[in-house]
């Protein structure tokens, strides 16, 4: 029933906007580009682009700012959804701070793209993240909590990034991240990551432990002086 509803919802979306659709199929997943629109923000006026994974119905968005040609190196951020940090002002993590900083950087630079991937909680989902937070309140770190719940430390899948970037005419990127796995994932997808730009922004007393664990167990590049 849920699958049928997803199918109906998707066909309605596509029918509303036929002229803008574009599809790509990789080995086991098909992606669609649905539509785009203006998105004025506190930082400047972006365009928002909607994408969907056909099988799961999972929706993602990209924000683009300014212009480039296909050979240009484009400033990008790939940001995984964090409802608590991005929308609810949580200081348990650095996500909301990084999101703001990335949008500011793009506007200051004059052009760029933010891919906002709906992979809440490093792919475990919102309520499992709340379960993981509960375990962390009782002494586990972010990796131990995921594993205690039966998940890998990081369950994210970046395959849709290639389709999103191709759709937006981006082949060469400078990537704002502290996470070497993101850089590797993009390289494995055939995207030319010309350079990495650190985004170690938003350290608070509440998230230092979380960031230390990411550095020690997940391999993040973070200036150790900021975490003292
Ligand atoms: N499972 C879990 N997920 C968390 C926790 N805190 C934050 N997250 C999620 O971690 C993800 C962070 O995403 P990003 O900021 O894009 O990625 P990152 O791996 O930190 O890499 P960079 O920020 O690019 O350096 C989001 O999906 C958050 O919801 C936590 O304690 N447990």
d(CA 21, CA 136) in angstroms, rounded, equals 43
When comparing pLDDT for 27 and 98, which is higher? 98
pLDDT 10s digits, 68-95: 999 999 999 999 999 999 999 999 999 9
Q: Check if the beta carbon of residue 71 is closer than 8 Å to that of residue 171.
A: yes
Residues listed for the chain: 228
Structural domains in the chain, sorted by start = 2-119+156-227 (3.40.50.10990)
Around ligand 1, the residues with Cβ closer than 6 Å are 79-82, 93, 95, 98, 119-122, 124, 129, 132, 142, 146, 177-179, 182, 220
ipTM over 0.85: yes
Can you give the pLDDT at residue 28? 61
152 belongs to the catalytic site: no
CA of 149 to the centre of ligand 1 (A): 17
The span from the first CA to the last CA of the chain, in angstroms, equals 52
When pLDDT is averaged across residues 191-211 and rounded to a whole number, the result is 90
């Amino acid at each position: 029933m849920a699958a049928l509803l997803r199918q109906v919802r998707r066909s309605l979306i596509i029918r509303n906007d036929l002229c803008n659709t574009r599809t790509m199929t990789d080995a086991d997943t098909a992606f669609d580009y649905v539509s785009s629109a203006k998105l004025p923000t506190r930082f400047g006026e972006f365009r928002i682009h909607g994408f969907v994974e056909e099988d799961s119905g999972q929706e993602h968005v990209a924000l683009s700012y300014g212009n480039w040609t296909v050979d240009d190196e484009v400033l990008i951020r790939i940001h995984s959804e964090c409802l608590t940090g991005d929308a609810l002002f949580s200081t348990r993590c650095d996500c909301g701070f990084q999101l703001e900083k990335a949008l500011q950087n793009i506007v200051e630079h004059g052009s760029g793209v933010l891919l906002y991937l709906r992979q809440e909680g490093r792919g475990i989902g919102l309520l499992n993240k709340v379960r993981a937070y509960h375990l962390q309140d009782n002494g586990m770190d972010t990796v131990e909590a995921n594993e205690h719940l039966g998940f890998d430390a990081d369950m994210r899948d970046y395959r849709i990034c290639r389709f999103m970037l191709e759709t937006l005419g981006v082949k060469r990127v400078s990537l704002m991240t502290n996470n070497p796995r993101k850089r590797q994932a993009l390289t494995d997808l055939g995207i030319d990551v010309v350079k990495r730009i650190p985004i170690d922004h938003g350290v608070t007393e509440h998230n230092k432990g979380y960031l230390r664990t990411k550095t020690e167990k997940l391999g993040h590049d973070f200036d150790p002086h900021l975490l003292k």
